[in-house]
C-alpha cells in the first residue's frame, strides 16, 4: 500500500492558520493542530493532538505562551496528556 498524506488548513479572517489536520492514507493516524492568537498576532495557545493507527490512543500537547509589551516571549508552558504542566520563564535584560 502506498503511503500518502492529506493536509487541510483552516484560516481566520486575518489569514492566519488556526487549524491544521494531517491524515495518513485518509484513515488511521492523524495529527490535529489548533492555534489561538492574541490581538498582536502572536500565538498564545497551540494544541497538538496525535491519534494513533486504529484510534487506539491519543497524545495531546498544549503549549501556552505569554508576551511582554515588545512582543517577546516571557513565559511558555507545556502540558502533555495528564502530566503536570511544565513552565519556563524568559528574562530580558535591557541596558
Return the HEC string of the chain.
CCCCEEEEEEECCCCCEEEEEEEECCCCCEEEEEEEECCCCCEEEEEEEEECHHHCCEEEEEEEEEECCCCCEEEEEEEECCCCCEEEECCCCCC
Return the percentage of the chain with pLDDT > 90, whole number.
47
Considering only residues 43 and 93, tell me which one the structure prediction assigns the higher pLDDT.
43
Considering only residues 2 and 27, tell me which one the structure prediction assigns the higher pLDDT.
2
Task: Name the average pLDDT for the chain.
Answer: 85
Residue 56 has pLDDT above 80, yes or no: no
Considering only residues 36 and 7, tell me which one the structure prediction assigns the higher pLDDT.
36
Residue 15 pLDDT level (bands cut at 50, 70, 90):
very high
Amino acid at each position: 500500500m502506498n503511503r500518502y498524506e492529506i493536509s487541510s488548513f483552516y484560516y481566520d479572517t486575518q489569514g492566519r492558520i488556526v487549524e491544521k489536520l494531517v491524515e495518513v492514507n485518509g484513515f488511521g493516524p492523524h495529527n490535529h493542530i489548533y492555534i489561538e492568537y492574541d490581538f498582536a498576532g502572536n500565538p498564545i495557545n497551540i494544541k497538538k493532538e496525535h491519534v494513533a493507527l486504529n484510534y487506539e490512543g491519543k497524545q495531546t500537547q498544549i503549549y501556552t505562551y505569554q508576551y511582554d509589551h515588545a512582543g517577546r516571549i516571557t513565559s511558555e508552558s507545556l502540558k502533555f496528556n495528564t502530566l503536570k504542566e511544565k513552565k519556563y520563564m524568559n528574562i530580558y535584560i535591557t541596558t
